[in-house]
Structure 1
Amino acid sequence: MRIVTDRGEGFAGAALTAVYVLDQDADELRQTDAVGESPGTGFGLSSRYPLSGSSPVADAFRTGQPLWLTPAEVTAHGDGQPADVSLGALPLGADGKRLGCLVVLDRGGDGFDTVRRNFLELYADQVGALLDAADVPCGTTAPDCALRHMRVGSFTLVLGTGQIDADRQVLDLAGIHPSEFDGRVETLLAHTVPEDLPALMSVVEPGHMASSRRELEFRMRWPSGELHWLRLRCRVLADSDGRPERMLGVVAESSHLRPSTDEVSRVQRLSAILATATTVRDVSRGVVTALREPLGADRMALSELHASRLVVTVLDPPEPSAWPEIWRAEWRSEWPEAPARALPTLAAALREGRTSLWTTSTGLEPGLAGLGRGGLAVLPLPADGRLVGACLLGWDNPHEFGTEERSLLTATAGLVGQALVRARAFDAEHELAAMLQRSLLPRKLPELPGCAAVARYLPATAGLEVGGDWYDVIPLSDRHVALVIGDVQGHSAEAATVMGQIRTAIRAYAVEGHPPDVVVSHANRLLVGMDTDSFATCCYVALDTEEGDAWIVRAGHLPPLLRDPDGNSSEVFAEGGPPLGVLADAEFPLTVVGLAAGSVITLLTDGLVESSSLHLDDGMRRVREVLSATDPSDVDRLADAVISGADQRDDDVAVLLLRYDGLRARPLRAGWAVWRLPDAVMHARRFTARTLRSWKVSQQTDAVLLIVSELVTNALVHTQGEVRLDLTLAGERLRVAVSDSSPRAPVKPTSVDWEVTGGRGLLLVEAMACSWGAVPLSGGKQVWGEIVLAPLES
């Protein structure tokens, strides 16, 4: 404290200098020290001044404005000072906080002149900044600890000649011996770090000299190489004609006030964040984390530059109300796209390609005016010799851009620009991989009678290579459907290729009508015979939608999860075989499970339930809990709930979920084994007629009998082996199906010679039926035709 008061006495010529700070109760000002002719309570100063009392010290503290009293005014105030004493009371504070009061007294004259007042006010600003930096409770002796580091010097600069009158303390701070100083300002500037010279010279620029007060920080390098941070506060005095004549300045050591997270550490932190950012969104959030809070910015925007549009990747805060109208008008679901031509100031800054700073955005175009009334920074983001985006920071309260902050923003722009280019390339490659993956999966799932199926697929968040997870829903006959899910080992183009081949093969084998274990066995032999070292896991479920029976086959895959209608969820115990592609003669056991109406069966891959931080058992337990706790009436919402915990994924995630509702009206079925006799067609027609009478179908019977005749005749004439006729009535649709042992599909003639007696069977079926077709069966085929009937007779 003595250092402080000594400096106040030295450069202002005061007879007595005293410092007052708030006590612990914050109801009075306590004198911490006084230096001069009569220290202590000399010159009538009190050791304490109540804030509620009437005294120059308390008045200056309450108003926050310096109070200067001439000897006559001091005498009139009646505080006990001698008659020939002038007094100055200067409040100490920073950033709106009132911390204390600096009191100076001098004998004789008419009081402190303008020059001395300016010096003392600048000096009080430095003391207030130090007290604020101490950040200690009122009434303690800690301010002494903070102020003892204070090294303050003063100078007067004649603007017209460049001559500077600097005291010894300024020369010490600059590392210059008094005998080596020639009184020229250039000598002092020669010790300034070159990067800080532009900011230091800006205080004498014409646009800034009109300001009543300026403050900035800069660095001085001593002859020993040691670097020191200094803080400058200055004022410009004008001559009688109003032209700037002299600059009064106070310089203080500020190295001990440097924050622990300085420019270098902030850049290092940002570099570390950007090194692990793999997407544009990761880069954006990392920049916000590293800059907005440390710099105290009220809002921050990061955008990519595409042609003439700024595609914003992050706005913080994200609420539209925090941004000007042009940003709200361009809002697109989450982030806006602002045309650069609508922001000419911003466009000009981007053209110049250098960091642009404004101490206020007032007067700028509406799109920028609301971003930072107290300060606005625009950082063009360069990369590879071109601009890739822009970063904007805005402050609502007055904000001065110090030298350190300017350097930080400039360094940040280059880092972020390069990170955006890398992230953009990563996003493009990741999207290409995801698109390839999705192209190998079903675009949409079929509508199933008595069931509702949904699927979800999420690519891994780490890595670019496409994975091998797949799923499929395969309608088989009019009452069966197959569900399949699988995972090919690895993440590569080969894994995706194998996945596509296996999925296609399983679908083909299933449609041919093979039972589930045979389908999986065929797929296993196919993969073993392929020229690849990959293997795959698979779970295949064939469901009878009429009876509710599910046949399950596992090949090294996770078991299905079953949610009962009452909400209980469990793993289905199904004995499994080895993964596909390992053993050519592997066996795959078949497990049968009955489903009640309202049951939900879930197939999934291990990316959802297992990772480096999640044990498989815990993952399966979490999915079962979600299934039990979520209403299955909305299967889409249920599927979303199942994958809700898969935000950070080491592997791809595939989920296939089916709710079995059962058929409201069970179809009527009848079958007949057709004997190979000369009158076989007649017997088939008689069987059909009897069945239709028993089902009370009396309309369109002739058309049905004609279809039966043609299909049975074709089977008997063109195939060998067993022939079977099946009739199915589901609602108002009657299906006639004839199965035979020949895999050869029927061919409809393109032209008919009317003199020929045969070849018209399929043309008649096509004419009579509303739809017809042929599907392969295991070892043969089935040809069918459907007719829409009138409502059943009561």
Structure 2
Amino acid sequence: MLDIPSRVRVHVETLLAAQNDMGVCDAFEQYAPAGKPDAMNAPHPPKVAGIDSTVPAPAHTVAPVPPAPDASSAAGASSAHSAHTAHPPGALLQDRLAGWVSDLTTLHELTERLARTNRLDAALEELLHAGAALVGARRGLVVLEPDDGLGPDTTVGLGLARADLGHIETVPRASMPYGALLDTAAGLPGGDAEIVRADLFAEEGLDPRHREVAARLGYAAGYALPLSTEAAGRLGAATWLYDEPAEPDERQRHLAGLYVRFATEHLARLLEGERTRACMATMYEELLPSRLPRVPGVRLAARHRTGPRGGGDWYDALPLPDAALGLAVGSVTGSGPGAVAAMGRLRASLRAYAVMEGEDPVAVLSDLELLLRLTEPARSATALFAYCEPELRRITVAGAGHCPPLVLGERRTEYVETTVSAPLGMLACWEAPSVEFQVGAGETVLLYTDGLLHRTGDPADRAVARLRAAAAGVPRAVRHDPDAVADHVLRTVLPDGLDVTDGREDVALLAARFE
């Protein structure tokens, strides 16, 4: 951390030693003066590759003292002596170094804040706030349009409401600074790195629609930078807006450029993660039921949450012959695309076995275990299959290393007593007896994966108790609605928004209310 007061005077040798420890040599070289200070021989900072040393001094540092003219009179000599006395050797360089360290400290703090963001939308908002502080603007917008065309495309505003962004979008794109950066080579790495519009209303040939929108929204100048690097390509552009004619000075532009280059690399990493999550979500949408079946006497609801890498938790509900209904939940070991693909194959196989012999859940899971052992010997899985007869409100269930169902009714909230069995693929031959139980009219059966319990972070016994308490606490006014029941259970078992955020564990929850 750079924990150095902004106005402190720094001894030259101490600062040079400290900068090596802090890893800020690159930025220090950026600010190194092109010539040596007057009246002293300053130590020369080491040359660092890729750094431009011709950068103006920060605005708050002391200006150089002009050299004293040749003393032709006693008054001139006295004046030169007074100037030399007022600025002893080293004082000027120390003031400049203090300003440079202040700038580096500011950059360090802003980049630290940005690095702590782990979502793309939060990073874009932080970029706008930090950039506005660096260039002295109050409002701005960032347009994200990756050059590879894979998206996501979005626009985020600072100090601009959704309606304001809508007005800006009506301006011809080429007239806006971000449009010039996104649609020309200027915004590519190595192109013109900025666009300055110091006084929009004084510009000749300003688009009439742009003039109208600027007057309506109350901005008179703009400054834009591309979000592009050699590695990431062009991701978008950021524009900051001034209420009055203005433009950032050279020092502000330099600091903003350093910050935006770091921000672009961070955004590229977050963008890759966002695309991975979107890809996983799409895969799950295709592999899990697109809609739940409508079976007389039963109302269904399902909830599914996927981890950032994608996992193997799944659920299913399918109508069976003789007006029966098959319900299933399960989990495949591992994470990532391989686990997702294995989950899809396992779910498809269970559906086939359920149609052929669903009235015998043990036979369904036995066939599934044999298939898993023969085709995917390196994986194991847990599964629970329930054969439901809605007209009789009778359920026959068999589980393989899976959590037992939970029954929620007016007079009871209890787990179904099922047999203890190993997961599929763990034994040479799997078989465990099934359990049959009755549900009353208006009761709801909850099937869930163990990811719901693991996400709580509690030991198994406490997590099981928490789930039961959450189900018992469902308000009576909403117990008729399985969607409301599922939402309440998730919010209660996983508080603080954990029911909707990404977690390491997948969650699958299936609720079936019997009429």
| TM-score (norm. length: structure 2) | 0.69
Match of 1:326 in 2: 168
SS of the aligned residue for 1:446 comes to coil
Query: CA 1:618 to 1:479, structure 2 compared with 1: closer, same or farther past 3 Å?
Result: same
Contact 1:217 1:229 survives alignment (8 Å): no
Selected match of 1:529 from 362, 374, 399: 374
Indicate conservation of the 8 Å contact 2:381/2:423, yes or no. Answer: yes
Question: Paired residue for 2:438?
Answer: 594
Q: Is the 8 A contact 2:222 2:247 kept in 1?
A: no
Q: Which residue of 1 aligns with 2:156?
A: 314
**CA shift for structure 1 position 498:** 2.7
Whole-angstrom distance in 1 between the partners of 2:301 and 2:130 = 41
The amino acid across from 1:195 in the alignment is V
What corresponds to 2:48 in structure 1?
none
Provide, for residues 306-361 of structure 1, a one-character-per-residue CA deviation record: whole Å limited to 9, x for no partner: 6799943422357324546234x6xxxxxxxx8623x3444345544323345565
**Structure 2 residue 283 is the aligned partner of structure 1 residue 448:** no
Deviations 1:52-79 (A, max 9, x none): xxxxxxxxxxxxxxxxxxxxxxxxxxxx
The 5-angstrom pairing of residues 735-754 of structure 1 reads none
Q: Give the SS at the match of 1:468.
A: strand
Q: Tell me the SS of whatever aligns to 2:451.
A: coil
- After TM superposition, give the deviation of residue 564 of structure 1 in Å: 1.0
Shift of 1:628: 1.0
Question: Is residue 400 of structure 2 the alignment partner of residue 560 of structure 1?
Answer: no
Distance 1:551 1:373, change over 3 A: same
Q: Tell me if structure 2 keeps the 8 A contact 1:610–1:619.
A: no
Structure 1 residues 625, 271: closer, same or farther in 2, change over 3 A?
same
Counterpart pick for 2:193 among 354, 362, 365: 354
Q: Which has the higher contact order (CA 8 A, sep 6+)?
A: 2
Q: Hey, what's the Cα distance between the residues in 2 that align with 1:387 and 1:226?
A: 41
Identity level (%): 24
> Retained in 2: the 8 A contact 1:607–1:649?
no
2: CA distance, partners of 1:651 / 1:398: 53
* 1:210 aligned residue: none
Q: TM-score with structure 1 length normalisation?
A: 0.47
**Alignment map for 1:648-659 (pairs within 5 Å):** 648-659=502-513
Label 1:657 to 1:324 Cα distance change in 2 as closer, same or farther (>3 A): closer
The residue type equivalent to 1:340 in the other structure is R
Q: 3-state DSSP class of the match of 1:527?
A: helix
Q: CA deviation at 1:274?
A: 5.3
- 2:455 corresponds to which of 604, 611, 624: 611
Instruction: Name which of 224, 235, 255 aligns with 1:408.
Output: 255
CA 1:369–1:266: 2 relative to 1, 3 Å: farther
Deviations 1:470-519 (A, max 9, x none): 11112122332111000100113432333223222222222113411222
Question: Do structure 1's residue 194 and structure 2's residue 81 form an aligned pair?
Answer: no
Mark the CA change 1:227 to 1:361 in structure 2 (over 3 Å): closer, same or farther.
farther
Q: Equivalents in 2 of 1:615, 1:340: separation in Å?
A: 56
Task: Report the equivalent of 2:229.
Answer: 383
Contact 2:298 2:514 in 1 (8 A): yes
Letter in 1 for 2:138: D
Whether 1:340 aligns to 2:173 is yes
Change (3 A) 1:288 1:497: same
Deviations 1:106-138 (A, max 9, x none): xxxxxxxxxxxxxxxxxxxxxxxxxxx99xxxx
Cα distance in 2, alignment partners of residues 570 and 397 from structure 1: 67
Is the partner of 1:608 in helix, strand or coil? helix
Between Structure 1 and Structure 2, the one with more helix by share is 2
The aligned residue for residue 362 of structure 2 is: 517
Q: Would the alpha carbon gap of residues 489 and 452 (structure 1) be closer, same or farther in structure 2, given more than 3 Å must change?
A: same
- Mapping of residues 481-496 of structure 1, within 5 Å: 481-496=325-340
Give the equivalent residue in structure 2 for 1:628. Answer: 474
1:576 to 408, 411, 420: 420
Q: Is the 8 A contact 1:502 1:523 kept in 2?
A: yes
CA contact (8 A) 1:551 1:592 kept: yes
- 1:287 and 2:127 are equivalent in the alignment: yes
The 3 A distance-change label for structure 1 pair 227 and 535 is: farther
CA distance in 1, matches of 2:464, 2:193: 51
Relative distance call for 1:287 and 1:639 in structure 2 (3 A) is: farther
Could you tell me which residue of structure 1 aligns to residue 383 of structure 2?
Answer: 538
The 1:389–1:541 alpha-carbon spacing in structure 2 relative to 1, beyond 3 Å, is: same
Q: Aligned partners of 2:373 and 2:449: how far apart in 1?
A: 22
